Structure 1
Amino acid sequence: MNFLQFAFNNVKRNARAYFAYFLSSAFMVMIFFTYAMFIFHPDLAKSEMGRMTGIGMEVAEYIIFVFSILFVLFSIGSFLKARSKEFGVLSLLGATTGSINRLVFLENLIIGVGSIAAGLAGGLLLSKLFLLLSVKVTGMNRLPFYMPWKAMGFTAVAFLVLFVVLSVFTLVFFRKNRVIELLGGGSKPKTEPRVSWVLALLGVALLTSAVLLLKGGDGLDFSKVMLAAATGIWGTYFFYTQVTVALIRLLKRSRRLLWRGTRLLWVSEMAYKIKDNARMLFMVTVAISLACMSVGVILAANAQNERVYTDNPFAFSYGVYEQEFVEADMAWIDEQLSKQGVRYETLERESFFGYIGSSNFYVDVVSRSEYNKAAALLGAKSLPEIGKGRAIAYAMEGSAAANVLKGETIPLSLSFLEEPLQLELQPSVVSLTGTNSHTSVVVLSDADFAGLKNGLSAENQNRLYRNIDFYIPAWQQKGAPGLQDPNIVIGKSLYYGMMNRLENGVTDNYMSSRGRAYAETREQLSMLSFVGIFIAAIFSVSSASFLYFKLYSELNQDRRMYHSLSKIGLGDREMRYSSSLQIALLFFIPVVISGIQTMVVLSLLGARFLLGDVTVPVLTATGAFLAAQLLYFAVVRSRYVVQLKRVMV
């Protein structure tokens, strides 16, 4: 038997340990390859949507590769630690450090090459399905199948370099260990987990600081968000390394709670497991949190896009900047809609652009009579009289302006006024609706609006905006439309036709399209969903692999413990309950913590970034990860309990 065969046999004998690592690596290679196959597709550059999707997938490639580096580095380190006793025996039999290094390198290379081959094979098998799915989700034209030699070579070289470099790098883990230390393996007795109350309090303070920074108010900016992310990450690290140990120590002080059934066994053991696995749990929590936040943001943005569409009753809004072009533009619009057999009504209105105080929360400022004209057209109730210096305000639920419009007064800033108007909010018995494509409206009395209009100086006359809104009764269906619905197709055509007139100097006026805005936002979110769903899947699979590796590295120690306990009366049922509960806590604590973090972060940032109500999206994203983790838990738990059952007396 030569050295290569010896390395191959070692991998085969340790198949149980390497199986999850092999599958996870192959899965990452497969996703990386399918993205590369899409990026290198010869027809990708023929459409704007294809180019945008290609850029998104390039970013995803970088994310996958960086995460793969961390995953492989962590996995190899875990395996070396679990097999330290085996290396000690080899050293005792005369194997040199160089021989062991060569053995480890060959084993890692065998697994790496195998996972690359399996990943490429899986990617080729699913390539046709992937291309069909990508076209359907992103809304691009048909992408025919092609033989992706370039993508295969790029993927194989990238991951082969990754496995070779990290295999060489990880050899330093045991190079300095003496034979007696290697033979000891993980059998050395552990000291009771210690806790630093200062660091535990620091962890709580950091998590609290992250929440306070994200509240931010009007002063929230990118630097504060990054600082909140850093403090939140460090707070999560101290939560696992210090706070959890402190909580378990406090729990162990209560004999009434602890000394019942098998609680003493699994609570005491969890103190060691959480402390030993703190870094791994921290990594898993951060990975799942990032994935949950990404999925939650995409789901929330998609729901908000649908709300913006359904809350806007007007299909088009024509902005009048130069009066001389209005007649010709309106004739052109009428011609385009008449060709399609579309019947419509128009509504002319005047408004100001305003802001709430010094914030960037935009509102549409209209008079009561202007709003009532829109209400009459839409079949809504008219507003009652509004007193001087008072206003009635509306903000779409979940929008940035919704919270600041709940007080008794509002400071309304207009660009042509030096100081904000201090308006008293008048309760409305009428449920307001949006009057155009914007989400928030402030309705003034006719006298106050006329005063602002008449007080405009000559140079500020352009601050009064005049719009002609198009109401199409046939397009007022409930819910969001499909991308091939007439209001989307005609909306895009009319919008781009007007943009062409604008670019060619035929007009200086502008027209917005409700359908076009909805469709383009939906297409962009579909692309992000397509890219993000596979990255989230990689994070999920890898987090389960991390937990499997750590449990396998502690398997021998648990075997000895349960073997000893079985001699003094511990039964199979108690063993299954205790071990299952410990494994469940390791699997589900990161998901629960990630869900809480995601809910807090997106709830604080949702209104500012127009995400609306994020409760359902966050629960959906967290529930998906929880379901995946439940599946992994069921598989790992069954295999782990079988191994422990074999040592029971």
Structure 2
Amino acid sequence: MSLWQLAARNLWRSRRRYLAYVASAATAVMIYFLHSALIYHPDVQGGVPDSAAALVARGLKAANVVIAVFSFGSLLVANAAFVHARVKEFGLLSLMGLSRAQLFRLIVLEGLLIGAVAVAGGLAAGLLFLRLFFLAISALLPLQEPIPVHAGPRAWGHTILVFGSIFALVSLASLLWVVTRNPAQLLRARRQPKAYPTFSRWQAALGLILCLAGYAWAAVPNPMVVIFGVVPVTLMVAVGTYPLMRAGLVAALAWLHRRERFFYRPGPFLTVSHLAYKIQENYRVLGTVAVTLAVILTAMGTVLSIYMVDIQVAVDNTPMAIQLALPSEIEAAAAAARVEAVLREHGLSGLTYRELTTRTGQLGKNAVTLAPYSLYAAVERPRGETLPPVQPGEAILVYPYIAPGGTRPEKPEPAELTVGEERIPLQVWHDKGGRL
């Protein structure tokens, strides 16, 4: 029997143990492939650099990096648990004459076979859901025409390269643990006594505080606060999940242990006692899977949130559909007529026009455009709050952005306005409700 056949038979005998592992890895491969298909789509690569699709593609690149890193961590932890469960098998193979080099090759072959199955399954699932993914992206953006389905060789090659490298590194990591021990140590590894897990109040409190703080931060209604908190919130929840899950599992099993009428029966007695000692491996695997899924969903949600915030910021900061600024020597009526003709050719009509002749000045170190209060009060802004009429010697300075903490000023500030050669001292109210 060749090593390939031995590796395949070993995996087939342990298929129930590896099924969830392969399924979770295939899910990560599928999501990575879907993201890569959009990133390397010819319409996105050759489109406008600042278009919505291009911005989403940039976000998906960052999401892919996060997915790859956390997938490596989750697969490393899960594979270590599986290898530790099979150390006795490796020890018996060594006693039966398998050399250290052959054991090395066997473990590597098993890792490559698992990786090949996971990558193939993930790519097949990604190809199956590719059209649905593009339709969903087209609907979310929204685009006038849906993105055509396309999966170029770069998407396939990039996915295979990244996850092939991940599975190779995971196999090498598990290999180091096995080959550094002799057959006697491998045979005794599973028989070494384990300490009974105890409930830790400080671990439970730390995990609960980190998770609650992370979720509270993510629930803040201000979208800018949420976007800036993507990385800290993810780290807080990821770090807090492990101690909280361990403490929760220990508390649940201890509660079952205290229920004497339930516990002291053949089935529950063996199951609960076995789970109590397996908890050291189970909570790491379960916690890693939970964190990986949370990171993947967070990465996808962040891309959508950034796009939605960009749309809101664009509407807030540019409330006018069209603005035409002309120097005084150009006739405004003729230029406006040409713009109207172009708009009518494209089926646009019913626009409201406002015409204003303005002057420019210097307020401190900033160049400003001067406009009457009547125009300021007449223009509707999405979230701006119109300040009451000013007194003589006062002015309102309108900022081209919306302040996160509110737009109404508390009091005016002294400033000097320069118009031509004239200097005018003013009391200036600051309006941070977005441009006119």
TM-score > 0.5, shorter chain as reference: yes
1:561 aligns with none
1:84 aligns with 87
Q: Answer yes or no: is the 8 Å Cα contact 1:240–1:275 preserved in 2.
A: no
Match of 2:283 among 278, 301, 308: 278
The verdict on how the C-alpha distance between 1:302 and 1:103 changes in structure 2, with shifts beyond 3 A counting, is closer
Q: Answer yes or no: is the 8 Å Cα contact 1:352–1:364 preserved in 2.
A: no
The reply on whether 1:172 has 2:176 as its aligned counterpart is yes
The verdict on how the C-alpha distance between 1:107 and 1:51 changes in structure 2, with shifts beyond 3 A counting, is same
Render the CA deviation track for 1:175-206: whole Å, top value 9, x for unaligned.
Answer: 34454553356465543212444544555565
2:260 and 2:228 map into 1 onto residues whose CA distance is 49
TM-score computed with the length of structure 2 as normaliser: 0.63
Root mean square deviation of aligned Cα: 5.4
The verdict on how the C-alpha distance between 1:69 and 1:38 changes in structure 2, with shifts beyond 3 A counting, is same
Amino acid of the residue matched to residue 109 of structure 1? L
SS at match of 1:458: strand
Q: What is the deviation of 1:103?
A: 1.0
Q: Answer yes or no: is the 8 Å Cα contact 2:207–2:241 preserved in 1.
A: yes
* TM alignment of 1:488-507, pairs within 5 A: none
2:74 and 2:214 map into 1 onto residues whose CA distance is 27
The reply on whether 1:104 has 2:107 as its aligned counterpart is yes
1:491 aligns with none
Q: What is the deviation of 1:73?
A: 1.8
1:433 aligns with none
Q: What is the deviation of 1:344?
A: 5.7
Q: Answer yes or no: is the 8 Å Cα contact 2:56–2:303 preserved in 1.
A: no
1:301 and 1:223 map into 2 onto residues whose CA distance is 10
1:157 and 1:298 map into 2 onto residues whose CA distance is 24
* TM alignment of 1:127-526, pairs within 5 A: 138=141, 139=143, 148-184=152-188, 186=190, 190-203=194-207, 230=235, 233-242=238-247, 245=250, 251=255, 258-261=259-262, 265=268, 272=277, 274-291=279-296, 293=298, 316=321, 328=333, 340=347, 342-343=349-350, 349-351=375-377, 363-367=384-388, 412-413=409-410, 416-417=412-413, 458=424
SS at match of 2:179: coil
1:182 and 1:204 map into 2 onto residues whose CA distance is 38
The reply on whether 1:46 has 2:46 as its aligned counterpart is yes
Larger deviation, residues 319-328 vs 20-29:
319-328
The reply on whether 1:67 has 2:63 as its aligned counterpart is no
The verdict on how the C-alpha distance between 1:199 and 1:99 changes in structure 2, with shifts beyond 3 A counting, is same
Identity %: 26
Q: What is the deviation of 1:145?
A: 6.3
Q: Answer yes or no: is the 8 Å Cα contact 1:35–1:61 preserved in 2.
A: yes
Gaps of 5+ in 1: 354-361, 371-398, 406-410, 420-456, 466-509, 513-649
Amino acid of the residue matched to residue 81 of structure 1? H
Amino acid of the residue matched to residue 364 of structure 1? E
Render the CA deviation track for 1:391-412: whole Å, top value 9, x for unaligned.
Answer: xxxxxxxx966xx89xxxxx73
Q: What is the deviation of 1:269?
A: 6.4
1:124 and 1:232 map into 2 onto residues whose CA distance is 32
Q: Answer yes or no: is the 8 Å Cα contact 2:227–2:305 preserved in 1.
A: no
SS at match of 2:175: helix
Amino acid of the residue matched to residue 61 of structure 2? E
Q: What is the deviation of 1:317?
A: 8.2
The verdict on how the C-alpha distance between 1:352 and 1:275 changes in structure 2, with shifts beyond 3 A counting, is farther
The verdict on how the C-alpha distance between 1:240 and 1:161 changes in structure 2, with shifts beyond 3 A counting, is closer
TM-score computed with the length of structure 1 as normaliser: 0.45
Q: What is the deviation of 1:80?
A: 0.9
Gaps of 5+ in 2: 355-373, 391-402, 416-422
Residue-pair matches, total: 380
Q: Answer yes or no: is the 8 Å Cα contact 1:318–1:511 preserved in 2.
A: no
Q: Answer yes or no: is the 8 Å Cα contact 2:198–2:250 preserved in 1.
A: yes
Render the CA deviation track for 1:487-523: whole Å, top value 9, x for unaligned.
Answer: xxxxxxxxxxxxxxxxxxxxxxx998xxxxxxxxxxx
